[in-house]
Amino acid sequence: MKEKVVLAYSGGLDTTALIPWLKETFDYDVVCCCVNCGQGNELDGLDERAKLSGASKLYIEDIVDEFCDDFIVPCVQAGAVYEHKYLLGTSMARPAIAKKLVEIARKEGAVAICHGATGKGNDQIRFELGIKALAPDIKIIAPWRMTDKWTMQSREDEIAFCKAHGIDLPFDASHSYSRDRNLWHISHEGLELEDPSQAPNYDNMLVLGVTPEKAPDKETEVTMTFEQGVPKTLNGKEMKVSEIITELNKLGGENGIGIVDIVENRVVGMKSRGVYETPGGTILMAAHEQLEELTLDRETMETKKKLGSQFAQVVYEGKWYTPLREAIQAFVESTQKYVTGEVKFKLYKGNIIKAGTTSPYSLYNESLASFTTGDLYDHHDADGFITLFGLPLKVRAMMLKEVEQNKK
């Protein structure tokens, strides 16, 4: 009996060409595994395509709810944003996919897992760190780094390879954007984006929505509720997190929300430019932050902001299955105990406009915050506070003045 390899299969040209290549190069029995994180119609026709290409079996594993509940929600609660803009759409999905690949490999008794990530990108790191953490005994095959065995350098080469192996597929050699899609976002790379001096061709690019200029000339009102930092209802209707994100994607896309053009620093050391569409995710992050403004104290917010940035770095670098991620997430979860309440906002031409926030755990005290003098605040108390708070500055200034006088 031949040894088995589990191939992370997307149905695209790269991973389709990998099926006959793995059989020919290693004499493996190829088991394909496509992990559904919300790719939509990209899953259509995969079973026929995989079998036609020589796979012995195809798993299509639906993990949309697990992806939302166990990976997206912790990042939303942490306020995890990489380099101020990127909401980690691909970064969050890779450890979830790696987990499922390991499960299928165990089930099939496979000796190896193969992925089609290139040797220049972040995904090779995310896949492989996840696999190493969960299954250190399973071999990892990364063809794009095996230049002595994987000799194909272009789509034309891959199409010719497939045809030589009797596989006629509905792919052509025309160039298009390199995309990654799941329920949270879709990313775009390539073509004019490879030149930072060029503006993105949004009319030819966008999939999930429209630019703010093409959004309606009217506001869309939205109301959401959260319980302990987890979204629960949207416009009065209780939904699963995956359903809320799906609906927010629709509303956000229609209103030009969540389009980001970024030059980011990859883990491997190079800069890369991409455009991310994250309409629902952008709204969800903003709504959660809107509620936290009301319910978290100053020092907790400051510490959480620092750790949230570190959490984003950890996730971006593929270190999901690490003690550090678990520790930061434990801190974040402890801060969410009182992040419960209702947020209202309006969507208008790329903007998310606050329209009111309420919480039973609100720390906003109208008596304290108003310009009238309340029972809890005596203006005279500020004298002593400022004296002590500014004492280091005053002492330093006195010292500098004395030093200058001694020089004279």
| Amino acid in the structure at residue 357 | T
Does 8 count as an annotated binding residue? yes
Distance of alpha carbon 273 from alpha carbon 262, whole angstroms: 6
Q: What are the tokens at 185?
A: 């976002």
CA dist 221 and 347 (Å) reads 7
**Could you confirm whether 178 is annotated as catalytic?**
yes
Per-residue pLDDT of the chain (408 residues; tens, 9 = 90+): 899 999 999 998 999 999 999 999 999 999 999 999 999 888 888 988 999 899 999 999 999 999 999 999 999 999 999 999 999 999 999 999 999 999 999 999 999 999 999 999 999 999 999 999 999 999 999 999 999 999 998 889 999 999 999 888 777 767 789 999 999 999 999 999 999 999 999 999 999 999 999 999 999 999 999 999 999 999 999 999 999 999 999 999 999 999 999 999 999 999 999 999 999 999 999 999 999 999 999 999 999 999 999 999 999 999 999 999 999 999 999 999 999 999 999 999 999 999 999 999 999 987 776 666 567 778 888 999 999 999 999 999 999 999 999 987
- pTM exceeding 0.75: yes
Task: List the CATH code of the domain at 2-163.
Answer: 3.40.50.620
12 assigned to a ligand binding site: yes
Backbone angles phi, psi at 147, to 5 degrees: -65, -15
Neighbours of 30 (CB within 10 A): 26
Residue 10 assigned to a binding site: yes
Is residue 9 annotated as involved in ligand binding?
yes
* Sequence-distant (≥ 6) Cβ neighbours of residue 311 within 8 angstroms: 75, 78, 80, 325, 328, 329, 332
- For the record, the structure tokens of 345 come out as 């906002």
**CATH 3.90.1260.10, the chain: domain bounds:** 176-356
- In 3D space, the residue among 196, 191, 189, 192 whose CA is nearest the CA of residue 122 turns out to be 189
Q: Is 187 annotated as a binding residue?
A: yes
Among this protein's residues, is 123 annotated catalytic? yes
pLDDT of residue 374: 63
Q: Is 264 annotated as a binding residue?
A: yes
Catalytic residue among 29, 123, 273, 325: 123
pLDDT of 80 reads 98
d(CA 282, CA 382): 39
Domain covering 176-356 in this structure, CATH number: 3.90.1260.10
Q: Confirm or deny that 298 is annotated as ligand binding.
A: no
The catalytically annotated residue of 29, 49, 94, 325 is 94
Quick check: helix, strand or coil at residue 113?
strand
Q: Of 47, 62, 69, 178, which is the active-site residue?
A: 178
Where in the sequence of the chain do the CATH 3.40.50.620 domains occur?
2-163
Q: Is 59 left (phi over 0), alpha (psi -120 to 50) or beta?
A: beta
Active site residue 242: no
